[in-house]
Amino acid sequence: MAGHWSFLTACARGRILVRDNFLMENLAHFNRDLVPERVVPAMASGAYGSFTVTHDISRWSKAKVFSEIGRKTACFVRFSSACGGDGSAGNERHPRGFACKFFTEDGNWDIVGSSAPVLFTRDPQTLDDFIQARERAAQTGLESPPTMWDFWSRSPESLHLLTILFSDRGAALGYRHMNGYSLHTYTLVNANEERVWCKLHFKTLQRIRNFQSEIGAANLVKDPGQARRDLFEAIENGSFPQWRVCVQVMTEAEAEKFEYNPFDPTKVWPQGRFLPHEVGILELNRNPAGDAEVEQTAFDPSHLIPGIGDSSGDRYNPRHDNDDYTQPGNLFRVMTSGDRARLIDNLVASLMPVPERIQKKQIVHFYMADPAYGKRVADGLGLSLDEILSAHPPSS
């Protein structure tokens, strides 16, 4: 072959032959040069690192990854935008994916988590409805607030994450400055085959930082590369980000008495009652060679190892109720006055282009969480809370 611009043909002026292996390989490489965008979560960054055990939890788990203090396990973490396609702004208001793959001697252990401790829905069958509600409208190619809020107004269990999402925590200042949560409940089993339930937390050691509280909404610039660039440059410069890995533990007896279904992903376990116990430190210290390493890394929640299992859904206790208002109400009440003001401003701005009938339905949910919550949103939208409650009496 004389060079890149030479081809194998049937004769001097003949057609190019399919058996021109160099050409076929070149075309095949071009066809596969881009990894197809995931439906969700599409925009992502990732890095390699290690998990180092700092505290003994053998009383709860026999997993070798936790077997001795100082033990290191290689890992890979994929951060992502839970909503929005590849190229969407990294500082937009949405949960971030936080997926970890631990390369243990017993096989890979995958955690598919989030920057928020709860999900929008407890029913996995409605997940695709939520994703479609966040997709851009077919006719305009733009996001559709009416579609999103129509879904949320019909899903009261989404109120907890909505309160987080529209607070300062909804727009993290890069992946290094946010926590991660396992969302779902896991099982820990010790050497005596004794079982407890657990949730995992990844507490950033870079301190939590958010766009709105530090920069202000008016000064935000939609920058698709901000979070990626921040993570990449920090690692390249030797400022390796770290997270403190903790577990919340609940015994089976405590689970039976817990006021909520302990496996409900729209609820948290109060940290005052179920203290996070430190297990180790997660550090990211090597950037991938290219996006293909990030996008071709698959995570499967069913990838578990001995000593760590999933939670059995058939343990749902009918005595547990689906109170969707107490926890978001508690969150609203512990916010500072400035936090609450920014939360209300963000919600009002998002609800402005939404039909009034949907606004009113959603305001009732806010009111059920806390009367002041509902009134402030109603006032911001120029609506009368009394009239809304008269036409839409809250259910008890």
Nearest one of 373, 364, 310, 315 to 340, comparing CA atoms: 373
Give the pLDDT confidence of 110-132 residue by residue, as tens digits.
999 999 999 988 877 677 677 77
Asked if 330 and 204 sit in the same domain, the reply is: no
Tokens 């657990």 sit at which residue?
Answer: 198
Residues 96 and 237 in one domain: yes
Looking at beta carbons, which pairs linking 237-242 to residues 24 or more positions away fall under 8 Å? Answer: 240/49, 240/283, 240/284, 240/285, 241/175, 241/176, 241/204, 241/205, 241/206, 241/283, 241/284, 242/204, 242/205, 242/206, 242/281, 242/282, 242/283, 242/284
192-206, 257-271, 316-330, 335-349: least confidently modelled range: 316-330
pLDDT at site 41? 56
Pair of tokens at residue 360: 């009113």
- Contact predicate 114/78, CB 8 Å: no
C-alpha pair distances (Å), 123 with each of 120, 136, 363? 9, 23, 23
For residue 55, being part of any structural domain is answered with yes
Interior/surface letters 173-190, b for 16+ CB within 10 angstroms, e for the rest? bbbbbbbbbbbbbbbbbb
Find the CATH number of the domain harbouring 298: 2.40.180.10
Rounded-to-integer distance, Cα 96 and Cα 252, Å: 31
The angle formed by the CA atoms of residues 31, 141 and 38, to the nearest 5 degrees, is 40
Q: How far from chain centre, in Å, is Cα 79?
A: 8
pTM recorded for the entire structure: 0.86
Band (pLDDT 50/70/90 cuts) for residue 304 is very high
SS3 assignment, position 21: helix
Residue 149 lies in a domain: no
Q: Is residue 211 part of a domain?
A: yes
> Are residues 16 and 57 both part of a single domain?
no
- Domain range for 338 is 326-391
Q: Is residue 200 part of a domain?
A: yes
Measured N-to-C along each axis, helices 371-380 and 337-351 cross at an angle, to the nearest 10 degrees, of 50
In whole angstroms, give the CA distance from residue 236 to residue 229: 10
C-alpha closest to that of 77 among 47, 102, 35:
47
**HSE-CB for 154 with a 13 A CA cutoff:** 10
Cβ-based neighbour number of residue 306 at 10 Å: 14
Range of 80-94, 122-136, 220-234, 349-363 with top mean pLDDT: 349-363
From 282, 315, 348, give the residue that closes a domain: 315
Residue 315 has pLDDT above 50, yes or no: no
Does residue 291 register a pLDDT over 50? Answer: yes
Compute the average pLDDT of residues 377-390: 96
Residue 263 belongs to some domain of the structure: yes
More confident residue, 17 or 366: 366
Q: Please spell the DSSP secondary structure of 101-133, one letter per residue.
A: EEEETTEEEEEEEESSSS-S-S-GGGHHHHHHH
